[in-house]
Amino acid sequence: MAAPAAAPADAQSQFPPPKVLTYPAAAPPSLITQGAEGRLYKTTHLLPDRPCALKYRPPKPYRHPILDARLTKARLSAEAKVLDRCRREGVPVPAVYAMDPAAGWMMMEWIEGIPVRAAINEWLGARRPPEEGAEPSAEAADDGAPLADLMRRIGIAMGALHRTGVVHGDLTTSNMMLRPRGEGQAVNGCVGGGDDKAKVLEGEVVLIDFGLATQSMSDEDRAVDLYVLERAFASTHPRAERLFATVLESYKDTFKKAPSVLVKLEDVRMRGRKRSMLG
């Protein structure tokens, strides 16, 4: 969750931190991002050299206080349960360190690295797009191997998530992190190569931001999860859109119930196309 840069100081004064962050600490907290439902701070947990992410859902003045408190508590508790379930099943997600649903906050493991979105865009930005109408060469295909490997790792992480009985609800490459790994270490079933220019795409794919996640065994819900990621990928990385099929292939190899989910995905795509045609 080392994605966006820290918010400026005036933003931090505009959005006062939760009480838990007002106590004296060796490392002052910093506001990383401000969203519609909450804020993300970088702080420390127990030790000054143990960074963590604190997710805070501030009170909503437009809601009745009792209803607002109940909703905040229920949503944070549900997110913590999903993360705990994923961790127990080996899905790469942040660990939950501490939480106070009544106060509206949860402390999680800080994921070092960069978002998958930024890594893909950096890698693509260093490469000249192929000329229109040109046939892909063997050299170009070999040059795209690091990105295809990342797509396989994303598919493996997705298969592990759905096998656990969890759907993310907001899958984009911004909600995936690439965590650095040790030299020669296998990550998500793949081992990195020695190509220096491909190192930006190396690392373990870690899924983050489970605020909209639910526990579900429905093929429909899983298919919608994949469709959301597919559409987000196409709009964010149009030059790499053709490689999304590699995600689905890896997903199918990882998750034994994937064939029925992929059948549902075709139905979801059809509904999506109809909505686009009707406006």
DSSP annotation string for 27-76: S--EEEEE-SS-EEEEEEESEEEEEEEEEE----TTS-HHHHHHHHHHHH
The residue type of 50 is: R
DSSP bridge partners of 30: 42
Scored b (16 or more CB within 10 A) or e, 230-243 reads: bebbeebbeebeeb
Give residue for tokens 């998958």.
116
Strands (E), the chain: 30-34, 39-45, 47-56, 96-100, 105-109, 114-115, 166-167, 176-179, 186-187, 190-191, 204-207, 214-215
CA distance 205 to 201: 10
The CA dihedral of 200, 175, 11, 48, to the nearest 10 degrees, is -70
| Contact yes or no for 118/126 (Cβ under 8 A) | no
Residue 170 annotated in active site: yes
The single residue of 100, 143, 170, 221 carrying the catalytic annotation is: 170
DSSP bridge partners of 99: 106
The residue type of 208 is: I
* Catalytic site positions: 170
